[in-house]
Structure 1
Amino acid sequence: MNPDCEETIPGQLNTVDRLSDLPDFILHDIISYLGTREAYRTCILSKRWAHISGTNPIIEFHYYCKKVNSSARYWPSKKVSARLLEYMDTRMQRYDKDKLRVRTLSFRFPDYIYLLDSNIKKLELSSKVDEWIRIAVRNQVAKLDLDVPNINYQLPAILLSAKSLRELYCMNVKIPYYNGAINLASLQTLELLYVGVEERMLNHIISSCLLLKCLSVKFCFGFKTIVIPCCSQVKELTLKYSLPKNGTIILESSYLTCFQFSDSYDDRWPIMLKPGLLRNLRTLDLFSSGITDGDLGKLLPELASLETLHLFHCRRLTMIRISNVQLKKIYLDDCHGLLYVTIDAPSLTKFKYKGDFDPDCIITISSQASCLLSVHTIPYCLDTPGFFKLKQLMTGLRSCNALKIWLSDDYDESGPDDIKFDEEELGDVNLGPPRDIRELKLSLYDQNLSRSSVSAFLNGLFWTCRPDIISFQFFFHEPDLMIQLFMSELEDMANCWGHPLKRIESPDANCSNTLESKKVDLQLRLHW
């Protein structure tokens, strides 16, 4: 018999609750995997669990909102009342009195914070938050997540002496300049969103936090220059829409492995760096209208370890050449000024092109690896020259395991939906037979294509490639008509002398309803 159980009534066992006998720190670790509400509900189990839920080292004060209509706007479900603040303050004072460990402290107040109770002043709320942060710092907080909009809240100076703090997330606050030492000895992650911070303060924090690995600055203001000094060990750097028009980023560290940069100015490239500093960079994500062919030409040879390159909205680029043996993924999104693109990447496994499929733009790809080719464009760009360009892209690939075509009008609603393909327009040009690939993936979003467009679409694709499997994703309110249209055209092609398609296996459709649209997955196996 189990020694933890003793027999009382024949056939029944009285079990001993061994779980509740575990030490507090183990039970705290267990409920740390639960959400705030779920962890609090454990208090109904017993007095022991009421104590555990009340001393949980993960403290989250999140102000939940509810959706009141079909639009995308959210409104506070009720006002921030004095009773709510009293509860939060009482709980924090208990942690201070009993010297309880605070592992995580998170405040999430509504954007419409002005809907305060009439008995609460913004200054009072600000002083309360100051006191809670002081308690968390004294009790060795490791993670702080703070969002207090619309009250002009400034971080207290005591936060800069939180030796145990590892993660700091700030949103809708201000960080003024403090004339004193910064002792964030354990800080590894710093994320600032809609934060006002003085330039000397921001750079002082970066240079003082020697263990900082991840730095994210998004939609912030108050500075013109960001310096990543040589002593910094930042590996992941994200800077989005934070630099003013004449701002500058000075990179002096060689530890960067991931760099994401976005700006909205088109007159200059604001990044300054010395040769050899980006030799360890593996991911580069650029959204910049200011970068030119010369800027990119100087940058790319420095990236010996680059594996992923994403160029988005770089509209001043016209001719680029990419040669890298480590490069595996390349994304070209809405770079409408491109005329010549030459890619020599033996390890390339994914190439994505999004934008107008302009036949005047010559793209040459050379890869020895099995590659996924993805094209996100609008219907009228896939005409005869468009399909010819698509076939050109595939000729430089040693092996293409899949071709994905996404047709959408989300970025150009003015164009027609017609697709036209006539092989006779190509004249004597011949790129050889269609390419054998494993799968052809087609995604169509609210495209009401005519029968002639569907026929031209499939004819152009089968002139380009011969897939073993063809997969459809229809994002329509009523996709049945489009499914029938595509199936009808495929059956006609199976009986047409112009295509070697022998038969099509029975479809396997998987339909799933969403809130705003209907998505249908359809997969067919083709036999040539």
Structure 2
Amino acid sequence: MPTVRRNSCEKIMGSEENVAKMQTGTVDRISELPDFILHSILSMLDTKEVCRASVLSKKWYGAWSSVPVLDFQLRYFQKYGNSLCNCGDNTLERYFGFIDKTMQRYSMQKYRITKMHLMLHKIDEKLVSLIDKWIMIAVQNQIQNFEIVCRGNYSLPEILFCAKSLKVLKCECVKLPYYETMELVSLEYLNFYLDTFDEDMLQRIISSCPLVELGIKRGPSDYCLVNISLPWMEKSTTSGTMQSNLQESPLQKFFYSGLGHHTLWPWNINVVALKNLRNLEIEYASITDNIVSELASGLVALESLVLSNCYNLKCIKISSNSLKQFRIANALFFIKVTIDAPKLLEFSYNTDIETSLSLVRVPDHCNAQFLPLDPDLLTTVRLVELKKFLEETNFFKSLVIQLPDPRKILVDEDVLRNTGTGLPYKLSELKLCRLCGKSARNLTEFSVAAFLDALFWCCHPDVLSLTTSLQNSASELILNDLKRKVHCYKHPLRSIELDSADCSSLLSEPSKIETRFRLSWSQV
């Protein structure tokens, strides 16, 4: 080892002996980390993977046995390709046995449990007492975040509602019975999807806890949640609005989902009581134009508004002095959208090209993104409409286009060249996504060339981003075609340079690698 490098190592390691150990590979620096850092590392893994990591060393074994985050999921005990709903009795027996042994160890050693995720697909009466025992241990060990998904007839035990340390509760497909005793004094986040429940119990939870976030996922039953009266909501009735003495709520985030069933919006929200609400997200709900407009203007602290798959909306007006983020997704039947938001920083618009968009007091530096509907069909008419829409609004900074099936790229270049619509729209970024799967596999050099020719006729982006996978050649085809277009007679593309590459989601989502290229254009 060179003298300079050796001296540097000695300063870092503390002695020449440690340098020698590092050279021979006998020093395990990770195992020398304190327990709380090891716990932080292990908390990112599921419980079974944490168990496997325990064989690395005695230090890892000690950290594994006391990690405060427990994630129990049946899929980690299944053979690849098997259905979770049709798993065998042996698999279930091993799964429940693993949970029971783990919870018993935590009970005996009194290890703290900060977070627990319990996934149960099949239960019977014999297992109910076991699940109750696991929840009791979690409560006794100061549980803060508890999530349970249960595909069976299971009622949450009373002891859970006496957990003074509980801050986050997520429950799906379980029963929520009524209990007299309840001390959820620390509960800040509640997210539930329940088939059956006691209205009094649910109302009591929401009314008495210092909730900051509330998420409601509504089932397919028409009666579900219709009769609930919350302290900051007025229940809709046929004769009008049910009045009540409403108190100010600390709620800052509210999420409502009809889970694809387009359920009726059951409330009139009292905006005065929700003066602290900052985030509102509504999806799959038959909410009206007037209600959305009233919410946007009446919620004085609202900073983020998301409307997704709300098919009853046609003409909405958003007027807000506090709104910073506004997202519209899958707006199939929109006719007109008017936005008056002087503090708007981000705007995502996923609707039809023919929708009318009016902007009032929206800042020029707003990062506006347009995602046109029907991306699978790229025709001459659609391109002309898209270019016209971008020019008329003159507002969008980025455009997101999904790769269409090559057979649906129906563009007549002669018609485009003779269409007097002016120069291509100047765009900050063009994002090409879904560069994998069937559409990408069917790509050819001809279809890629036609696809890019059509887009570059419509717009000239400063940055081109490609979302693809390691195994797919779609991005390679696109890059090769771009190289051919440098100094091409069709497009004044001068050069292309790599700007950045984002592989942060490579481990969790191998199909998502985003590569950004900077394009330089000549004056047209």
* TM-score (norm: length of structure 1): 0.70
**Residue 182 of structure 1: how far off its partner (Å):** 1.0
What SS does the corresponding residue of 2:295 show, helix, strand or coil? helix
Per the alignment, residue 488 of structure 2 pairs with 494
Alignment of 1:229-378 (within 5 A): 229-230=231-232, 253-263=248-258, 268-358=264-354, 361-365=355-359, 367-370=362-365, 371-377=367-373, 378=375
> Residues 424 and 456 of structure 2 are in contact (CA less than 8 Å); yes or no, is this contact kept in structure 1?
yes
In structure 2, how many angstroms separate the alpha carbons of the residues matched to 1:458 and 1:100?
A: 58
Q: Tell me which amino acid in the other structure corresponds to 2:143.
A: V
> Residues 214 and 251 of structure 2 are in contact (CA less than 8 Å); yes or no, is this contact kept in structure 1?
no
**Residue 455 of structure 1: how far off its partner (Å):** 6.9
* Distance change (3 Å), C-alpha of 1:526 and 1:253: same
> Residues 357 and 381 of structure 1 are in contact (CA less than 8 Å); yes or no, is this contact kept in structure 2?
no
The match for 2:520 among 513, 517, 526 is 526
Give CA deviations for 1:217-238 in whole Å, capped at 9, x if unaligned.
324576433333259xxxxxxx
- When you count strand as a share of all residues, which structure comes out higher? 1
In structure 1, how many angstroms separate the alpha carbons of the residues matched to 2:27 and 2:468?
A: 56
Per the alignment, residue 129 of structure 1 pairs with 131
Alignment of 1:149-188 (within 5 A): 149-150=151-152, 152-178=153-179, 180-188=180-188
**Residue 199 of structure 1: how far off its partner (Å):** 1.2
Percent identity, please. Answer: 30
Per the alignment, residue 200 of structure 2 pairs with 200
Give CA deviations for 1:341-375 in whole Å, capped at 9, x if unaligned.
233334444433334433xx322345333334322
Per the alignment, residue 387 of structure 1 pairs with 384
* Distance change (3 Å), C-alpha of 1:341 and 1:78: same
* Distance change (3 Å), C-alpha of 1:298 and 1:462: same
> Residues 511 and 521 of structure 1 are in contact (CA less than 8 Å); yes or no, is this contact kept in structure 2?
yes
**Residue 139 of structure 1: how far off its partner (Å):** 4.0
Per the alignment, residue 118 of structure 2 pairs with 107
Per the alignment, residue 411 of structure 2 pairs with 419
Larger mean CA deviation between 42-51 and 212-221 belongs to 42-51
In structure 2, how many angstroms separate the alpha carbons of the residues matched to 1:452 and 1:51?
A: 59
In structure 2, how many angstroms separate the alpha carbons of the residues matched to 1:52 and 1:520?
A: 35
* Distance change (3 Å), C-alpha of 1:489 and 1:159: same
* Distance change (3 Å), C-alpha of 1:344 and 1:397: farther
* Distance change (3 Å), C-alpha of 1:425 and 1:356: farther
Larger mean CA deviation between 433-442 and 47-56 belongs to 47-56
1:439 counterpart = 2:429: yes
- When you count helix as a share of all residues, which structure comes out higher? 2
> Residues 377 and 404 of structure 2 are in contact (CA less than 8 Å); yes or no, is this contact kept in structure 1?
no
What SS does the corresponding residue of 2:182 show, helix, strand or coil? coil
In structure 2, how many angstroms separate the alpha carbons of the residues matched to 1:205 and 1:144?
A: 15
**Residue 155 of structure 1: how far off its partner (Å):** 1.8
**Residue 138 of structure 1: how far off its partner (Å):** 3.5
Q: Tell me which amino acid in the other structure corresponds to 1:503.
A: R
What SS does the corresponding residue of 1:504 show, helix, strand or coil? strand
In structure 1, how many angstroms separate the alpha carbons of the residues matched to 2:447 and 2:317?
A: 35
**Residue 55 of structure 1: how far off its partner (Å):** 5.2
Q: Tell me which amino acid in the other structure corresponds to 2:495.
A: I
* Distance change (3 Å), C-alpha of 1:270 and 1:101: closer
> Residues 285 and 309 of structure 2 are in contact (CA less than 8 Å); yes or no, is this contact kept in structure 1?
yes
Per the alignment, residue 142 of structure 2 pairs with 140
Per the alignment, residue 119 of structure 1 pairs with none
In structure 1, how many angstroms separate the alpha carbons of the residues matched to 2:150 and 2:264?
A: 35
Give CA deviations for 1:177-216 in whole Å, capped at 9, x if unaligned.
22x121122222333244532211111222232x232233
In structure 1, how many angstroms separate the alpha carbons of the residues matched to 2:410 and 2:427?
A: 26
Per the alignment, residue 190 of structure 1 pairs with 190
1:226 counterpart = 2:228: yes
Per the alignment, residue 235 of structure 1 pairs with none
What SS does the corresponding residue of 1:227 show, helix, strand or coil? coil
Q: Tell me which amino acid in the other structure corresponds to 2:310.
A: C
Q: Tell me which amino acid in the other structure corresponds to 1:107.
A: L
The match for 1:66 among 78, 85, 102 is 78
> Residues 470 and 526 of structure 1 are in contact (CA less than 8 Å); yes or no, is this contact kept in structure 2?
no
In structure 2, how many angstroms separate the alpha carbons of the residues matched to 1:175 and 1:312?
A: 28
* TM-score (norm: length of structure 2): 0.71
In structure 1, how many angstroms separate the alpha carbons of the residues matched to 2:281 and 2:256?
A: 6
> Residues 228 and 252 of structure 1 are in contact (CA less than 8 Å); yes or no, is this contact kept in structure 2?
no
Larger mean CA deviation between 127-136 and 387-396 belongs to 387-396
> Residues 214 and 253 of structure 2 are in contact (CA less than 8 Å); yes or no, is this contact kept in structure 1?
no
In structure 2, how many angstroms separate the alpha carbons of the residues matched to 1:469 and 1:47?
A: 50
Per the alignment, residue 483 of structure 1 pairs with 478
CA RMSD, Structure 1 to Structure 2 (Å) = 5.1
> Residues 379 and 419 of structure 1 are in contact (CA less than 8 Å); yes or no, is this contact kept in structure 2?
no
* Distance change (3 Å), C-alpha of 1:454 and 1:478: closer
Per the alignment, residue 237 of structure 1 pairs with none
> Residues 199 and 224 of structure 1 are in contact (CA less than 8 Å); yes or no, is this contact kept in structure 2?
no
What SS does the corresponding residue of 2:305 show, helix, strand or coil? strand
In structure 2, how many angstroms separate the alpha carbons of the residues matched to 1:455 and 1:20?
A: 53
> Residues 288 and 312 of structure 1 are in contact (CA less than 8 Å); yes or no, is this contact kept in structure 2?
yes
Q: Tell me which amino acid in the other structure corresponds to 1:258.
A: K
* Distance change (3 Å), C-alpha of 1:49 and 1:426: closer
What SS does the corresponding residue of 1:225 show, helix, strand or coil? coil
In structure 2, how many angstroms separate the alpha carbons of the residues matched to 1:271 and 1:196?
A: 19
What SS does the corresponding residue of 1:405 show, helix, strand or coil? strand
> Residues 164 and 183 of structure 2 are in contact (CA less than 8 Å); yes or no, is this contact kept in structure 1?
yes
* Distance change (3 Å), C-alpha of 1:329 and 1:383: farther
In structure 1, how many angstroms separate the alpha carbons of the residues matched to 2:457 and 2:21?
A: 74
In structure 2, how many angstroms separate the alpha carbons of the residues matched to 1:511 and 1:21?
A: 31
1:504 counterpart = 2:495: yes
Q: Tell me which amino acid in the other structure corresponds to 1:160.
A: F
> Residues 68 and 111 of structure 2 are in contact (CA less than 8 Å); yes or no, is this contact kept in structure 1?
yes
**Residue 490 of structure 1: how far off its partner (Å):** 3.2
Tell which structure's C-alpha radius of gyration is larger: 1
* Distance change (3 Å), C-alpha of 1:202 and 1:442: same
Per the alignment, residue 236 of structure 1 pairs with none
> Residues 66 and 77 of structure 1 are in contact (CA less than 8 Å); yes or no, is this contact kept in structure 2?
no
In structure 2, how many angstroms separate the alpha carbons of the residues matched to 1:379 and 1:6?
A: 64
Q: Tell me which amino acid in the other structure corresponds to 1:146.
A: I
Q: Tell me which amino acid in the other structure corresponds to 1:255.
A: P
* Distance change (3 Å), C-alpha of 1:343 and 1:407: farther
Q: Structure 1: which 5+ residue stretches go unaligned?
A: 115-121, 232-242
What SS does the corresponding residue of 1:226 show, helix, strand or coil? coil
What SS does the corresponding residue of 1:368 show, helix, strand or coil? coil
What SS does the corresponding residue of 2:363 show, helix, strand or coil? strand
In structure 2, how many angstroms separate the alpha carbons of the residues matched to 1:177 and 1:509?
A: 55
